[in-house]
Amino acid sequence: MSHVIVAPDSTGKKIQTTELTDGADQVQLQHVIVADPTTVNQGAGVAVANPAASAAGLITRPVAGTLLEIGVTTPAAGAMWTHVVPANRLYRLLYGKMRFVANSTAARRAIEFFISDGTDDVFKSSMDGEIFAGLNNTIYLMPGGGVIGRVNTQSNVYHIPLPSRVLVKAGWLFATLAINIQTADQFSDIRLIVEEWIV
């Protein structure tokens, strides 16, 4: 940063500028901002990324959210997984993937995915089929879900439909419910792709 003197006013007033190269010339770019009338260095910022959660005032920020891949903590065997939207964040869930290994205990499992506000379920949907004992399965969370159910009888690939363009706020959670889950059944490799805003 530098200053230039503007007359008249005996010693003159200072204008904040930045020096730039314009062809063969060195020119001064004058700073014009939306500023507080009484506090020095308090003006509207222009962010090249999402501003801090504590930022206040008029701020220019990206219109689109930031694409974020979340690795959900692997639960213990026989347990479900949950991911809570952190403070000062807004999520739109775009896609998800998980592994589910069913142990040898004879039981037909079914996986449900839900979004909760911490008290009530605000969305719930189920996979397009059943999981049998002794199988290693891949389950996708996708808008619209699968169009033909399980891809084939050997691949053990399933789909769970997602809601369209739903925004989920801080404190809400994504989670699964496994019907007839057995004590040695295991979720793993749980990945969520979300669009994230800092609010």
Q: What is the mean pLDDT of residues 22-47?
A: 78
Parallel, antiparallel, or unpaired for β 136-143 and 89-101? antiparallel
Tell me the pLDDT tens digit for each residue of 130-149. Answer: 888 998 999 999 887 554 44
Residue pLDDT, tens place only, 54-68: 666 665 656 778 899
Residue 148's φ and ψ, nearest 5 degrees, are: -135, 25
Which pLDDT value is given to residue 18?
Answer: 86
- Distance separating alpha carbons of residues 195 and 167, to the nearest angstrom: 9
Please state which CATH number belongs to domain 66-198: 2.60.120
17-33 pLDDT per residue, tens = 888 888 888 888 887 77
| pLDDT mean over 98-125 | 93
Query: For position 44, what pLDDT does the model report?
Result: 72
Residue entry with tokens 């500023």 = 35
Question: What pLDDT score was predicted for residue 5?
Answer: 61
**pLDDT of 11 above 70:** no
| Whole-structure pTM value | 0.68
Residue 1 has pLDDT above 90, yes or no: no
Per cent of the chain over pLDDT 90 is 49
pLDDT (0 to 100) of residue 32: 77
DSSP code per residue over 83-146: EEPPTTEEEEEEEEEEEEE--SS---BEEEEEEE-SSSEEEEEE-SS-B-TT-EEEEEEEET--
Q: Shortest CA distance to 96 belongs to which of 120, 121, 116, 114?
A: 114
Of 128 and 100, more confident: 100
Domain boundaries, the chain: 2-60, 66-198
Q: Which residue has the tokens 């033909």?
A: 148
